[in-house]
């Protein structure tokens, strides 16, 4: 699909005019909007079970865990260059051990949000107003923890894409990513030898139209259907599909043989193909995860 779409996608992209990092018609340099993917949102009927799978079974470092008594609220794990944020699925029956999960959102860390909002306007990218989350700061004061800006043209039902700026008074996301990446490296990538999330695979019913919107946000693609961010977060890969959704994560590991041996030991067998290994969805609550070297 991507190969057949390459020419029309690139023609559409070329029609957009200047993009991030290039001179605009009036000679001014346009700024980037996105630094990288900050976190990937995952919703599950059994979020506590999924959190245990990532943190205990796979050995990914814990970023946070919030619970009200025995009720799981949210948890995060570091995957090298990005965080997986695990939330309870809205309105779903919570049955421990029988959960189903899906990827539901991408949070992009922007350059200073005020600059990013101006650039969204310049590029004609529709968005909702900034939505600050208010709560207790580390020093005890109450203030803004983070601010989200929903990207309405790229979001779809079941797939929320948004800018996510953390308040400096609350947390430095780049320091936290570095700390989590260092912990993962010290643990040799956990059970699978994970180095980083290489790609987030997104499908679209109309990939040519979505390619134009992704290019407006991230700049020209590295290759047809693949966009890198400025910092070392995962790439975005776009392909055709029956729905607009986040389909799969591609994880880079140090050794496919080591990963395969562990999965067989745990009974989470994967499907091996040339140069990659797909985890059995039965062991990941239905999440599509593919390992590459």
More confidently predicted of 33 and 2: 33
CB 107 within 8 A of CB 146: no
Local confidence band at 27 (pLDDT 50, 70, 90 cut-offs) = very low
Instruction: Render pLDDT for 127-152 as a digit per residue (tens, 0 to 9).
Output: 999 999 999 999 899 999 999 999 99
How many independent structural domains does the chain possess? 1
pLDDT over 60 (residue 256): yes
By three-state DSSP, how is residue 200 classified? Answer: strand
Residue 268 has a pLDDT of 76
Handedness of CA 185, 79, 34, 130 (dihedral sign): negative
* Weakest-pLDDT range from 74-78, 92-96, 244-248: 92-96
Residue 274 has a pLDDT of 82
Domain with 288, as residue range(s), is 2-292
Structure tokens at 255: 């050794």
Instruction: Render pLDDT for 199-243 as a digit per residue (tens, 0 to 9).
Output: 999 999 999 999 999 999 999 999 999 999 999 999 999 999 999
Residue 14 has a pLDDT of 36
Residue 96 has a pLDDT of 52
More confidently predicted of 143 and 7: 143
CB 128 within 8 A of CB 149: yes
Q: CA 293, CA 194: separation in Å to the nearest integer? A: 10
Instruction: Render pLDDT for 167-177 as a digit per residue (tens, 0 to 9).
Output: 999 999 999 99
What are φ and ψ of residue 223, in 5° steps?
Answer: -135, 170
Residue 4 has a pLDDT of 38
Residue 70 has a pLDDT of 83
Residue 272 has a pLDDT of 80
Q: CA 122, CA 76: separation in Å to the nearest integer? A: 34
Share of the chain above pLDDT 70, in %: 87
Residue 38 has a pLDDT of 98
Average of per-residue pLDDT across 63-86: 95
b or e along 207-216 (b: 16 or more beta carbons within 10 Å of the residue's beta carbon)? beebbbbbbb
Residue 240's contacts (CB-CB under 8 Å, 6 or more residues apart) are 1, 2, 5, 203, 204, 205, 207
Q: To the nearest whole number, what is the mean pLDDT of the chain?
A: 89
Residue 258 has a pLDDT of 94
End-to-end CA distance of the chain: 24
What angle (nearest 5°) sits at the alpha carbon of residue 204, between those of residues 35 and 46? 75
Residue 92 has a pLDDT of 57
Average of per-residue pLDDT across 186-210: 97
CB 96 within 8 A of CB 112: no
pLDDT over 90 (residue 166): yes
Q: Tell the residue number behind the tokens 């609350």, with chain if given.
A: 170
pLDDT over 60 (residue 1): no
User: 193 exposed, middle or buried (CB, 10 Å; 0-12, 13-18, 19+)?
Assistant: buried
CATH code of the domain covering residue 98:
3.10.180.10
């Amino acid at each position: 699909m991507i190969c057949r779409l390459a020419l029309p996608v690139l023609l559409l992209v070329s029609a957009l005019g200047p993009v991030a990092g290039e001179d605009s018609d009036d000679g001014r340099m346009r700024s980037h909007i996105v630094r990288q993917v900050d976190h990937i949102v995952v919703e599950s009927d059994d979020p506590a079970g999924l959190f245990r799978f990532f943190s205990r079974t796979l050995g990914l470092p814990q970023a946070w865990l919030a619970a009200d008594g025995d009720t799981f609220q949210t948890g995060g794990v570091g995957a090298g260059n990005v965080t997986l944020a695990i939330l309870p699925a809205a309105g779903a029956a919570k049955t421990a051990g029988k959960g189903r999960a899906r990827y539901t959102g991408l949070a992009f860390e922007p350059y200073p949000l005020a600059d990013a909002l101006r650039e969204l306007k310049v590029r004609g990218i529709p968005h909702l107003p900034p939505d600050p989350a208010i709560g207790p700061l580390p020093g005890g004061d109450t203030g803004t923890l983070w601010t989200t800006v929903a990207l309405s043209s790229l979001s779809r039902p079941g797939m929320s894409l948004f800018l996510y700026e953390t308040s400096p008074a609350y947390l430095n996301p780049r320091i936290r990513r570095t700390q989590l990446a260092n912990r993962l490296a010290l643990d040799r990538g956990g059970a699978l030898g994970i180095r980083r999330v290489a790609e987030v695979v997104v499908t679209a019913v109309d990939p040519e139209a979505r390619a134009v919107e992704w290019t407006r946000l991230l700049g020209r693609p590295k290759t047809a259907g693949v966009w890198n961010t400025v910092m070392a977060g995962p790439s975005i890969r776009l392909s055709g599909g029956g729905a607009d959704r986040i389909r799969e994560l591609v994880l880079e590991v140090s050794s496919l043989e080591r990963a395969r041996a562990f999965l067989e030991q745990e009974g989470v067998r994967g499907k091996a193909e040339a140069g990659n290994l797909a985890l059995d969805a039965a062991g990941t609550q239905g999440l599509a995860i593919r390992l590459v070297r």
